[in-house]
Amino acid sequence: MGDIRILNPPDLGTLIAELRARGYRVMGPTVRGDAIVTGEIRTVSDLPRGRGDTQRPAEYRLTERDDRSFFGFAAPAISSKPVFFPAEEVIWRGRRDHDEGHFTVERDRPDAAPIALLGTRSCDLRAVQIHDKVLAGRMYEDAHYAARREHTFVVAVACGQPAETCFCASMGTGPRPAETNPETGEAAYDLLLTEVLDEHNHHFVMEIGTEHGRQVADAIEAGDGDEHDHARALEITDAAAKRQTRAIDTSTIHGVLRASVESSRWEEIATRCLACTNCTLVCPTCFCTTIQDVSDLAGDEGERHRVWDSCFSEQFSYIHGGPLRGETKSRYRQWITHKLSSWEDQFGMLGCVGCGRCITWCPVGIDIVEEAAELTRMSGLGSGAARS
Amino acid sequence: MADIRNLALHDDEGVAARASAPSTTGDPMVPRRYAITRVRQDTRDTFTLMLDPVDGGPMRFRAGQFTMLHAFGVGEVPISISGDPRGADEGAPLEHTIRNVGAVTRALVNAPPGTEIGVRGPFGTSWDAPDAVGGDVVFVTGGIGLAPLRPAILDVLAERDKYGKVLLLYGSRTPEDILYGDEMRRWADLNDVNVQMTVDNAPYGYKGKVGFVTELIARAGFDPRRAWAFVCGPEGMMRAAASALVSRGLPPAKVRLSMERSMKCGIGLCGHCQLRDVFLCVDGPVLDYARLEPLMNVREL
């Protein structure tokens, strides 16, 4: 246990103001379009106070809570993924002199304003760590992602409100975030909040993760907490973990998917899967993109855009002669095998953080946990500990 | 229920774009400009582009690597470099042999000399043909597959005396589609290369061999105990060729193939070229059959 502080509800506004005064663009949960999404937080009133959610396979409902909690909901419909990795961005702009055949290119770079993440769940925090590895920790990096990620300040929230679709506890990614990023050994957050709300209390137990976090905590004059406060925070996340009913057995899933390549299950899933790409759009770790060249009618002014793509689309695998994954069953196999098996070979970690969004936002309620369990059962490679 | 597609990131201020340094910043997503100096027609649908750099020096590359070629305002395609890896030091143009099969390739091959195009790269792994020094070398290829293999053949011929037998087994659809025909004849006449050609279909009276190139492997004269094979062509042909080579006794680790997949970035970020755990743009395109065999034998993997 490190430095513990106590934040009262009015202090949350002070924290937001302090971060903005320090030059951060604060991004956190806010209500938009009947859902909680990640958006800009300018004042405490931008937070979804008193709002909750119901998430089930193929169902998302924004609800009114009977309390005044700030973080009384599960995974927002949109994670922090687009904060650093927008769905569409310009990579460069070019201009051609049609008569001469020359062209010039000017690279676009993102605004350098640093981001403060506020209220980021442990699942989504882990997803950012995964993207740090995938997009900025290999031979080549996504220059735009890396620029946006510089100097990020993280105010994480330990999750006390898992949805029915959540399974972070089984993935080892929550509901309380690990103190350090397992890949880099660096602190995972600057500040960590656990919201304590019962008949008598409403406050946040604030844990300090970095020196930078301590400076901010000092600046807003957060009161001191103690062992008991910390114990109360741990109780909340322990209870949240116990409430989760879905689980993937991470000890066997890599081998199960390797062995399931010719499984008859794919055909069965394809009778339900619409290949709509929703799961890949809401997934906080999906990173596939395509390139779109946009030009004016004369073809002399051009922009190159990098946009999110999905392995569920037919053209994703297209080469001259046709798509290589023509059938939906091949595309679902690619997606789940990548998340739960190949990702480990590629990056030394699983590509699923257990946020449950793909279950919630699948229009027909295909459940990655259920499919993993069924593939495990059919392969006969389960450890016996897996739920089925 | 809210529609996830309408829930764009709350983003009033946006991320202000600011133009900065030009294309020489080293960002691998930003193309360098090359001018087309010549377009040579090789067959009815295949052309070779000769390119000179507009900014900076010549591109150094290894045999088997590819670039992303960009026709301004049209789009970008991955194309293997087909020139001599030693060419950069001698002021030779950067060469790509392209089949005119789509919008981008059509724009590239129809561009008049002097037109500037964008080039990113070189990317990917090499044939590393000199691993075969001291042994026999078998090149098996079909159609335009000869183009990505040509730099490896030139690597071997540059030090021909260090190798044993060198075989080039080449198949094309018809006699009209034979690529680099004059050059293959020179390799046979001047460089002691055993060139064997076959066509899938031939007009009446054609004197050459008719049949699939993979059928040449069984009787080809090389010593499988000390041979390496480099195979490039359509995936079905490569699978059959690799299988035939392994049947002759070559270890799968000494059979290298160049894989084709959709590629949008060339640097392992866009995800399109994944074959299970392999990013073919950075882990490939050239990989050995020991690695590829389990991946090539699953439909639509």
Into how many domains does chain B fold?
A: 2
Q: Are residues A223 and A285 in the same domain?
A: no
The single-letter code of the amino acid at A53 is D
Q: Are residues B175 and B292 in the same domain?
A: yes
Listed by number, the residues of chain A in 126-185 with a beta carbon closer than 8 Å to a beta carbon of chain B are 134-135, 138-140, 142-143, 148
Distance from CA of B5 to the nearest CA of A (A): 8
Q: Are residues A75 and A192 in the same domain?
A: yes
Collapsing DSSP to helix, strand or coil, A247 comes out as coil
Per DSSP bridges, beta strands A115-121 and A25-32 are parallel
Do A120 and A152 touch, CB atoms closer than 8 A?
no
Does A28 lie at the interface with B, CB-CB under 8 angstroms?
no
Collapsing DSSP to helix, strand or coil, B279 comes out as strand
Domain boundary at A190, A220, A243, which? A243
Q: Are residues A192 and A45 in the same domain?
A: yes
- Contact call for A261 and B261, based on CB within 8 A: no
- Structural domain for A306, as ranges: 253-379
Q: Are residues B64 and B207 in the same domain?
A: no
Q: Are residues B82 and B99 in the same domain?
A: yes
Listed by number, the residues of chain A in 352-381 with a beta carbon closer than 8 Å to a beta carbon of chain B are 361
Q: Are residues B98 and B156 in the same domain?
A: no
Give the residue among B98, B83, B96 at the shortest CA–CA distance from B45.
B98
**Other beta carbons within 10 Å of A156:** 24
**Set of chain B residues whose Cβ sits within 8 Å of the Cβ of A142:** 269
Collapsing DSSP to helix, strand or coil, B71 comes out as strand
Per-residue pLDDT of chain B (301 residues; tens, 9 = 90+): 444 444 433 333 333 332 333 334 478 999 999 999 999 999 999 999 999 999 889 999 999 999 999 999 899 999 999 999 999 889 999 999 999 999 999 999 999 999 999 999 999 999 999 999 999 999 999 999 999 999 999 999 999 999 999 999 999 999 999 999 999 999 999 999 999 999 999 999 999 999 999 999 999 999 999 999 999 999 999 999 999 999 999 999 999 999 999 999 999 999 999 999 999 999 999 999 999 999 999 999 9
Domain assignment of residue A388, yes or no: no
Do A135 and A127 touch, CB atoms closer than 8 A?
no
Domain assignment of residue A116, yes or no: yes
Domain assignment of residue A384, yes or no: no
Domain assignment of residue A305, yes or no: yes
Helix/strand/coil percent split, chain A, to 5: 35, 25, 40
**Set of chain A residues whose Cβ sits within 8 Å of the Cβ of B103:** none
Domain boundary at B74, B94, B123, which? B123
**Other beta carbons within 10 Å of B66:** 27
How far apart, in whole angstroms, are the C-alpha atoms of residue A131 and residue A80? 11
Q: Are residues B133 and B117 in the same domain?
A: no
Q: Are residues B136 and B272 in the same domain?
A: yes
Q: Are residues B256 and B160 in the same domain?
A: yes
Question: What would you measure as the largest C-alpha separation in chain B, in angstroms?
Answer: 73
- Structural domain for B225, as ranges: 129-296
Domain assignment of residue A16, yes or no: yes
Domain assignment of residue A186, yes or no: yes
Domain assignment of residue A46, yes or no: yes
Q: Are residues A289 and A153 in the same domain?
A: no
Domain assignment of residue B81, yes or no: yes
**Set of chain B residues whose Cβ sits within 8 Å of the Cβ of A100:** 114
Q: Are residues B107 and B185 in the same domain?
A: no
Q: Are residues B78 and B143 in the same domain?
A: no
CATH of residue B80's domain is 2.40.30.10
Distance from CA of B111 to the nearest CA of A (A): 9
Collapsing DSSP to helix, strand or coil, A61 comes out as strand
ipTM over 0.90: yes
Q: Are residues A55 and A79 in the same domain?
A: yes
Into how many domains does chain A fold?
A: 2
Does A314 lie at the interface with B, CB-CB under 8 angstroms?
no
Among the partner-chain residues B23, B31, B268, the one whose CB lies closest to the CB of A139 is: B268
Domain boundary at A208, A225, A243, which? A243
Q: Are residues B180 and B237 in the same domain?
A: yes
**Set of chain A residues whose Cβ sits within 8 Å of the Cβ of B1:** 34, 59-61
Whole-number Cα distances in Å, B40 to A358, B46, B151, B153: 51, 9, 18, 20
Q: Is the dihedral of CA A336, A340, A344, A348 positive or negative?
A: positive
Report pLDDT digits (tens) over B110-166: 999 999 999 999 999 999 999 999 999 999 999 999 999 999 999 999 999 999 999
Domain assignment of residue A10, yes or no: yes
Q: Are residues A324 and A206 in the same domain?
A: no
Q: Are residues B108 and B159 in the same domain?
A: no
Domain boundary at A243, A278, A301, which? A243
How far apart, in whole angstroms, are the C-alpha atoms of residue A354 and residue A175? 10
